[in-house]
Structure 1
């Protein structure tokens, strides 16, 4: 009983349930809980860049072969492009087979979509880089790590960075005490603001998107891990706490630092974790890619637009590029979608208003798929590079509760 009471998974799941109930029965009160979810995510975000910076720098300094850094980075970019393109093609294929937009009536809406169309017109790779501090920190850490690797007094500098890393993770453990509150606020707001009734008109789209993402996770990602005899189900069980946090907050950022810590504990080298996870956060958005492709075809079906093969190829080409920058732009999903609609110029932009009510529910599926996809990418690349300690991996997968107990002990230690 004591283990249940002190178990973070139990409290996050309880908080999600309580938030959903409050949102359904007292929507006005639930909407005001948004501040809890937003505050939790904002605090966790404060830890993301320091953790990325320290993890990458320490990892590169500890590598004897600097050529490996470039090789891992190159393989990661190639992996991201192949897998996200595959996700894009799966989304288009399923949307064409099931046709979730058929029969949906395009009603006039008072929703303001100007900020999304304006953002689409202003999008550029320069803005993406300037707005994306994660990429900036990633590049800075790589440069500093390479420089420190060649400095004679690097041992003393590394000792300071190691102490800083230790305290940053201690602070993160303390913040994770409030994960249930963040999950409660996020779920209460979602249900209270939009209500389950908003799902009914677009229920077919919701079911299609969730089913497609499940097929991608348990089909494509399963096969990817299978190439190195790693069990996807055991991995999902290992990161169950983080998945619940992502579900409750609709944000993969909320659990990103914790994922990096768990991957290291599972035997992935610090340098691979530091390079792949933050880069994947910006470039390996499997769930977002699936949603964008399906949403585009959904709107085409709603308005009775029969896309030609050249138009479909245009959509694929646009999303292959713009979806990579989705994490670095405010209102990312809709802005990328708007830019796609503007490019092909046959689907009315007003169709975006149709998706506003269910986007928050879609966001949960997108975030979870992105999150799992980045974990799988890290494990695969670490295995491919010989940077995965299989003994540690097996121990971590076989002792999930022990790992969670260690995290809880760390939280209790910091709290005392």
Structure 2
């Protein structure tokens, strides 16, 4: 398409989007002024403009945010259809979860066995673990303070039976025992990521100790190939990300009404304030100290962040995040920082969203210190 034609298409799309925005604004300021059929038409004309813009940009992040708008419109205008779209988002999450376990296994084994120097791996390991625990604790502290100050979701009433139940607290002995797998097949089946990590680390160390170089190389080639295949598998699944994210938003709006978005945006604003505080107070000093290209890093994680937000699942964003970090050629410390930021997203999903659904679950005082160790183990 020539430059002249492209400019004409963009102008047309801008006009459609502006027209829809004006009509929606008039209807909000003066309810009843614009009839429902006209509002419906203008809204979907605006969405046509959004689709045109997405086609022009051809970016996964753009498509994901565009699908959120389309999902919101479907949930508002066709709630009966929207409530049946939950299966689409669940299908996307299931596909993502099939990638996580073999991807973690392959990358960890290659990372450990590829060095062939257990002393170096050990030094790197304890430093990374110490770094991760400190930064993660700071991330959780910021998030806990933010959600308790904002009180996001206060006043929402869920239908009877949908209020999440509080589980029984684990003792520290149970927490430690839960980290180690008793059956790797059971760990994979139940999605116990930390148990899979422990198994992969021990497997990698065992591979380093193999004396026969030929046998060792065969297994190393296998795990390298497994990682590469899983990254390609992830790229295929990511083509379905806009559908999964859009369906999740449509189901939420169709099931709970458009008003739920106000509380979700309140939660989103709280999340962004927490992320900004974490960025300024924790991430930036570390990045400057280690001379990390922050702008390049932030661009690389933009897609994983958008996937995480749309699906409210950090697991869905993990494969893409690992691929992005590999492209940036980051150090272990940067990976630790990314994991720490993902803890904020994971905490918002596992703790923040239940708080939105049940404001009585807001943590108070000493409960901060009792919940943080359980959260950091994730």
TM-score range, shorter chain: 0.5 to 0.7
Q: Does 1:140 align with 2:140?
A: no
DSSP-derived class of the 1:268 partner: coil
1:85-100 maps to which residues of 2 (within 5 A)?
85-91=137-143, 93-94=145-146, 98=149, 100=151
Q: Does 1:116 align with 2:178?
A: no
Cα distance in 2, alignment partners of residues 23 and 174 from structure 1: 27
Deviation digits for residues 247-305 of structure 1 (CA, Å, limit 9, x no counterpart): 22221211211221221222236xx4999599x48x972345578898999999x88x9
Q: Does 1:149 align with 2:211?
A: no
Deviation digits for residues 358-415 of structure 1 (CA, Å, limit 9, x no counterpart): xxxxxxxxxxxxxxxxxxxxxxxxxxxxxxxxxxxxxxxxxxxxxxxxxxxxxxxxxx
C-alpha contact (below 8 Å) 2:308/2:314 kept by paired residues = yes
Deviation digits for residues 191-212 of structure 1 (CA, Å, limit 9, x no counterpart): 2223331355797666445423
Give 1:161 deviation, angstroms. 2.9
Q: Does 1:267 align with 2:316?
A: no
Partner of residue 109, structure 2: 57
* Cα 1:155/1:13, change in 2 over 3 Å: same
Structure 2 residue ranges without an equivalent (≥5)? 7-54, 181-186
Deviation digits for residues 102-148 of structure 1 (CA, Å, limit 9, x no counterpart): xx6697973444x622x235784245656553222212221221122
Q: Does 1:77 align with 2:136?
A: no
Cα distance in 2, alignment partners of residues 95 and 168 from structure 1: 36
Cα distance in 2, alignment partners of residues 321 and 258 from structure 1: 27
1:272-291 maps to which residues of 2 (within 5 A)?
272=332, 280=339, 285-289=343-347
Partner of residue 222, structure 1: 284
RMSD of aligned C-alpha atoms?
4.1
Cα distance in 1, alignment partners of residues 334 and 238 from structure 2: 20
Give 1:88 deviation, angstroms. 3.9
Cα distance in 1, alignment partners of residues 265 and 317 from structure 2: 28
Q: Among residues 88, 91, 116, which one is paired with 1:36 in the alignment?
A: 88
Give the TM-score normalised by the residue count of structure 1.
0.62
Give 1:43 deviation, angstroms. 0.7
DSSP-derived class of the 2:239 partner: helix
Q: Does 1:245 align with 2:307?
A: yes
Q: Among residues 160, 165, 170, which one is paired with 2:232 in the alignment?
A: 170
* Cα 1:294/1:179, change in 2 over 3 Å: closer
Cα distance in 1, alignment partners of residues 354 and 57 from structure 2: 45
Deviation digits for residues 297-353 of structure 1 (CA, Å, limit 9, x no counterpart): 9999x88x9x9xxx72x223202212224x5xxxxxxxxxxxxxxxxxxxxxxxxxx
Structure 1 residue ranges without an equivalent (≥5)? 328-416
Give 1:38 deviation, angstroms. 1.1
Q: Does 1:184 align with 2:246?
A: yes
C-alpha contact (below 8 Å) 1:84/1:285 kept by paired residues = yes
Give 1:36 deviation, angstroms. 1.0
Give the paired residue count.
311
Between Structure 1 and Structure 2, whose CA radius of gyration is higher? 2
C-alpha contact (below 8 Å) 1:58/1:161 kept by paired residues = yes
Partner of residue 222, structure 2: 160
DSSP-derived class of the 1:120 partner: coil
Give the TM-score normalised by the residue count of structure 2.
0.67
Partner of residue 352, structure 1: none
